Structure 1
């Protein structure tokens, strides 16, 4: 209990930038979350709502307040119906389909929406922000179907489930179960909101679903880049590879900084010169020799991916934008998720290439034609038991299947823009689909990575037996990982079911269990 308390992080929504790391902390349920009550912040938030109230009551024309939505913007809303309009917006968008987002993903989506609304440019009341923050504080999280958004006008259908929950409708995650929010609100004595004009649009007409997912995807990919470098070092040891492929002088002549960082990680892991090499092959195959070039594409992409995601997260991304300070209503298209779409389409490509790289390394290591003297399929069986044991044969097939599916998912979603909503939304981002694709590619790649960890570890154990490899001569980092794997997995001597081991290692990867390189 004490360690859990120590791990919690204070996060205050106050209109300043929220980081990708903070979204991940909130998503994991490790944030102590609050809303600023500074007088200046409260006043800035309320100023926009007060300006809107005065404007529409004076019969000012405001999109989505005194007009219908989308192509229906030419439809004038009678003054006596204006306050009913937000309820209709989240009601008719209640048509999501498919699997629902996980609890972690839904927390991230709520956090992303609060970050945007807290900028003070959306015309919502401070009271609405309080209700959103209360959802995170009490861990009463909307159940949100994954399918139904084209990424402009923002994530309308997914975010309608957030708006509805604020008002006491639909379902929530609470204490591990899906329950009717009305029951949970009654149990916790939470008063449902009645949305003010523009507040439904402010919640729904934005990029929070795709951006929340992007924050989660970024951290998973960032970790996989490091883990792929560590696994490559392990594979090189198991295959008796050429450590000089990662020499700093070699990489100095091709100065991509991320690529060179990956090469240095692998070079340092291999503790070059400490272990004698018996393999006579001058150049290792590409999946070893070119690993820094493959992983380096992702590593070099992380800075701009972070910038794209961070900027979207900390933007007012609904429509219209409300300038309460200068009393202006600015109609535009900030709900368009093009930056997140491009980031997620790019990220899933780079991540799938990691799966492809590790799959090729696995294929080398299990094959007696390429593994420099190790047993077929890395079976630990000996003597009369050898013929009936097949080691990692099926795991290699599985890794190939997961990789193929990951690669299949890399078609950019953003190029499949559709004209929707009576051709009002005639160019859309597909950002949410791109983000969902990226999450799927990450899952598949983590499965391949789990297989690669087990295969590389088994290969090193066999190299000790075959070539008298001295593990003490390996680097501290490499030895630490080898020891940590041994704590969770035992040497595969006789065939056994490996599904649960693979699932455990996928979970450990997603928890970022192994402490890797400091940057």
Structure 2
């Protein structure tokens, strides 16, 4: 992203946004702008006016003149209609677990603002402006991560957004946890009084799972590239055979993502020695790396489409069709596409951890690493016997990989019947997204450990083969690693190094694309 693009706002005008727009807002690289165009604002206002007209005509609208969910048969007296949306977010204030991070919370606000900007939710322009203000001033509702079954949308977590819009509950502002009312007073923001359908419109949607999915997609995409780079390093460390990634070989199996991974490995290994002449085939974790990473690469475009379609959808209930004057009752809050995307992604990413774990097991084992010291220890001479190199690191990688693999059980198959059997088939999309983020965290830890192993292994291979030369692309990467992490000669705690590298991974510090 150029500096000029960074200065351009992300405009909410009912047109499509992409995952990168959400990321830019989540990371405070760009600001949110609600379209000032009269046509857009008139279209938004028309939905709210239709609700008001139906109320004047004594029409029946779910969640406006009725109770919620299974209570839709309960008629709400006209004198109490205005109080109903405030009761909705009040009784849903039962979230638990960790709070969403600031980045995750900004993504949630962006996802909800984008959905409501489609103009089919019956909300006022003022509500959209209030969401925009939260993003502009970085006033972040404290949103507990747990409590959503993914239909009727993310009701409980989004109740914390609704409450904050009205000046209630707590926010994260300028690195402090504070009462929303205090921050609003400080900034001169007037708390909202929600119109009849607005509580339902804010809460009855898929914004939390979609936001988390957007962040997960970006992290997974980078991990695919990083795993490819690490594989190239490990081929060299293991004195492997670069011919396994031959262009002609991969031309006969036309999976585009797999071919991209092989092409990137060829670029990284251009000019590398052919490896031990007596070994025609390396073990699968090296030879089949494009086939493992390539599944993730090939799935990413499909997963992007599902996430971005959800991001750009009106996903609450009921839907307001101003053109026909109808209120359409349906189930667009059901997060099945996000649930499938996240259940799929966490399996694909966990497989990356398993691949890297197997590569590490090869290069630390003196029986299989073709002439390198056991555990990639850098110690020599009389101190060698008491030094253990990366022995414990390999154990930790195994633990992180096992935990990641354990979490690949799909959340979407655990639908529960809730709310007096009104919500009797639910998506579990938000749980799937949280699981996916945890898997990503574990796999990033594996990747951080593999960066230490790559830095260590390349140096030790050079001791065995002083003529080993890396091409400019890989040499620059090794030099950067050497700047970040010292060679492990005498045993030392590696947790500080892991944190440094983990931060670099999450900042996507290396340009890795072919």
Normalising by structure 2, report the TM-score.
0.98
Superposed CA offset, 1:190-234 (max 9, x none): 100000001000000000000000000000001011111000000
Could you tell me how far apart the structure 1 residues matched to 2:372 and 2:329 are? 66
Q: How many positions carry a matched residue from both structures?
A: 513
Q: Is the 8 A contact 2:242 2:274 kept in 1?
A: no
Give, in angstroms, the shift of residue 32 of structure 1. Answer: 2.0
- The yes-or-no answer on 1:298 pairing with 2:296 is yes
Structure 2 residue corresponding to 1:341, chosen from 323, 339, 342 = 339
Could you tell me how far apart the structure 1 residues matched to 2:511 and 2:230 are? 13
Distance 1:148 1:427, change over 3 A: same
Aligned to 2:174: 175
Superposed CA offset, 1:227-280 (max 9, x none): 1100000000111100000011111111111011101111111005x4353353
Structure 1 residue corresponding to 2:403, chosen from 394, 402, 405 = 405
Superposed CA offset, 1:388-424 (max 9, x none): 1011111100000000000000000000000000000
Give 1:53-452 correspondences, 5 Å limit. Answer: 53-272=52-271, 274-275=272-273, 277-278=275-276, 280-452=278-450
Give, in angstroms, the shift of residue 469 of structure 1. Answer: 3.9
Structure 1 residue corresponding to 2:472, chosen from 471, 476, 492 = 476
Could you tell me how far apart the structure 2 residues matched to 1:470 and 1:187 are? 62
- 2:422 counterpart SS class: coil
Could you tell me how far apart the structure 1 residues matched to 2:274 and 2:295 are? 31
Distance 1:5 1:181, change over 3 A: farther
Superposed CA offset, 1:124-165 (max 9, x none): 000100000000000001110000000000000000000000
Q: Is the 8 A contact 2:67 2:76 kept in 1?
A: yes
Superposed CA offset, 1:7-57 (max 9, x none): 544211111111100101111111122111100000000000001011012
- 1:173 counterpart SS class: strand
In structure 2, list runs of 5 or more residues that go unmatched: none
Give, in angstroms, the shift of residue 282 of structure 1. Answer: 1.5
Structure 1 residue corresponding to 2:496, chosen from 494, 500, 504 = 500
Give, in angstroms, the shift of residue 69 of structure 1. Answer: 0.2
Distance 1:484 1:7, change over 3 A: farther
Could you tell me how far apart the structure 2 residues matched to 1:161 and 1:5 are? 34
Superposed CA offset, 1:441-484 (max 9, x none): 0000000001111101210000001121433xx22221121111
Q: Is the 8 A contact 2:240 2:274 kept in 1?
A: no
Could you tell me how far apart the structure 1 residues matched to 2:116 and 2:165 are? 14
Q: Is the 8 A contact 2:241 2:276 kept in 1?
A: no
Give, in angstroms, the shift of residue 326 of structure 1. Answer: 2.1
Q: Is the 8 A contact 2:120 2:314 kept in 1?
A: yes
Give, in angstroms, the shift of residue 58 of structure 1. Answer: 1.4
Which piece of structure 1 moves more, 274-283 or 187-196? 274-283
Q: Is the 8 A contact 2:404 2:439 kept in 1?
A: yes
Could you tell me how far apart the structure 2 residues matched to 1:292 and 1:495 are? 34
Give, in angstroms, the shift of residue 327 of structure 1. Answer: 1.1
Could you tell me how far apart the structure 1 residues matched to 2:172 and 2:509 are? 26
Could you tell me how far apart the structure 2 residues matched to 1:475 and 1:326 are? 64
Q: Is the 8 A contact 1:47 1:325 kept in 2?
A: no
Could you tell me how far apart the structure 1 residues matched to 2:437 and 2:269 are? 32
Normalising by structure 1, report the TM-score.
0.97
Give 1:9-48 correspondences, 5 Å limit. Answer: 9-48=8-47
Could you tell me how far apart the structure 1 residues matched to 2:467 and 2:10 are? 49
In structure 1, list runs of 5 or more residues that go unmatched: none
Q: Is the 8 A contact 1:275 1:469 kept in 2?
A: no
Could you tell me how far apart the structure 2 residues matched to 1:86 and 1:4 are? 42
